[in-house]
A and B are shown apart, each in its own frame.
Chain A
Amino acid sequence: MDGTGHRIAALTAREAGLVGCRHCTRVSPIGTQTCPRCGGSLESRDRTSMQRVWAWWIVGLMAYIPANLYPMLLTRTVGQVTDATIVGGVIELAHHGAYGVAAIVFFASVIIPVGKFIAIAYLAVIVRRPHGHKPSQLLHLYEVVEWIGRWSMIDVFVVAILAALVQFNLLATINPGVAAVCFALSVVFTMLAAISFDSRRIWDQIRRTSDESPA
């Protein structure tokens, strides 16, 4: 560690009979409801955290299924209507030879959402009981999930931009499909699931099983 702060033998605020503010890092006596410094609400461990994680996870999944089944983009060219689903759009891009962009869209709309569902469920299940996983690895997983989730919005924005640009064209019109709305909702819900997760829980169950000797 650089700097001059020193450690109180990995004692948590909770164990010291204190509650720490996650907004401004100030500590208060346990039982305090609002942080005296920043006015944020205080809770030593977010008790409803897990229920909220699972609730958002489930509605997120419920929105993700129709997002893949229904068309994302409706293109009308001289009396002909073609629609494309998320995966259909990726295939089309690949057909045009735009492999790089196809890969970006595929990653943002398929790999990230599916990976997120798995990762959040894995974290939520694992921190319930004492576990032998390295907390630093779990934290990395959580940070990646939290950071990457918003990037799934790419496809929603693409649909909105295309529709806005090609609206007034007489030769073709592009309209967003139902899936665009479902997908946007799914991204928002899974982001809320990730945010609801209380990262402090990663360490709570750890010390009984794995030793946490100073690095």
Chain B
Amino acid sequence: MTPSDDLVCCPVCDTLHEIHGVEEGKRLRCVRCNTVIAVDRPEAIVRIVVLATTSLVLMFIVIFFPFLELRNGVFDSRASVFETAMTFNRGVMAPLAIAVTLFVIVLPVTRLVSFVWALGPLSFDRPPLPGAAFALRLAETLRPWAMAEIFMIGVAVALVKLGDLATLAMGPAFWSFAAIVFITALQDTQLSKYSIWTALDTASQR
């Protein structure tokens, strides 16, 4: 069999499918494992770019503004994600600092920048930037390692643990965080490998 543009394999189970366009608004699922292969939503690309840009702006607030404030009369303490990561940048606990920095700051930001880099020009009907394919692949690979939403649950648990010790208040970063988690979930539902790569292909040929 010869490879062609219409021939598509399921990334999960390797079954071949022949696709001659997808009806608008329909999803095409793998016949064997039911994984969504193609989704025709022409506005999906623009939506992903808009959501990623919004998340990037919010990410700035998240990193540098406090997400928790602690008051017990004697002293005030507030923590931003940046401070949390920098607290143990020395000694045995350095791996913990690296883990927090990577999973909560570096990887989520890298993933968002990759999306904007790869798909941004497409939403303005422009040819893609060099390295767009690499950026898109990177964004997909980083998916499990961007853990902003998990950090947020951590904040909530920390809140309960410190409940007796002091009065706690959510900082502005907490709400930005909540927004990012919601946006990311929304963004991931827009994704279909086949559709995005086809869009990138079409744009490169312009």
Residues of A within 8 A of B (CB): 1-8, 10-14, 16-18, 20-29, 37-40, 93, 96, 98, 101, 104-105, 135-136, 139, 146, 149-151, 153-172, 175-176, 178, 180-181, 184-185, 188, 191, 195, 199-200, 202-203, 212, 214
Residues in B with CB closer than 8 Å to A166 are 70, 77, 162, 165
Contact B136 A203 (CB under 8 A): no
Contact B157 A101 (CB under 8 A): yes
Instruction: Name the interface size band of chain B.
Output: 35 or more
Known: A2-B28, A164-B79, A167-B87. 17 other contacts (CB 8 A): A4-B20, A5-B19, A5-B20, A5-B38, A6-B18, A25-B10, A139-B12, A153-B154, A157-B147, A157-B150, A157-B155, A158-B158, A161-B68, A166-B77, A166-B162, A176-B96, A181-B95
| A contact face: mostly helix, strand, loop, or mixed | mixed
Which of chain A's residues has its CB closest to B132's CB? Answer: A38
B41 in the interface (beta carbon within 8 A): no
Select one of B8, B9, B161, B163 contacting A158, CB under 8 A.
B161
Contact with A along B157-180 (1 / 0, CB 8 A): 110111111000000000000000
Select one of A13, A181, A185 contacting B16, CB under 8 A.
A13
**Which of B42-50, B52-60, B193-201 binds A?**
B193-201
Contact A96 B163 (CB under 8 A): yes
Residues in A with CB closer than 8 Å to B140 are 23
Contact B12 A26 (CB under 8 A): no
- The 28 listed contacts between A and B (C-beta, < 8 Å) are A3-B26, A3-B38, A4-B26, A8-B17, A10-B15, A20-B9, A20-B10, A20-B14, A23-B140, A27-B9, A40-B137, A98-B160, A101-B156, A150-B150, A154-B150, A154-B153, A156-B96, A156-B154, A157-B155, A161-B158, A164-B87, A165-B68, A168-B75, A172-B165, A184-B99, A200-B12, A203-B13, A203-B14
Contact A25 B9 (CB under 8 A): yes
Shortest beta-carbon distance from A45 to chain B in Å: 9
Residues in B with CB closer than 8 Å to A151 are 150, 153
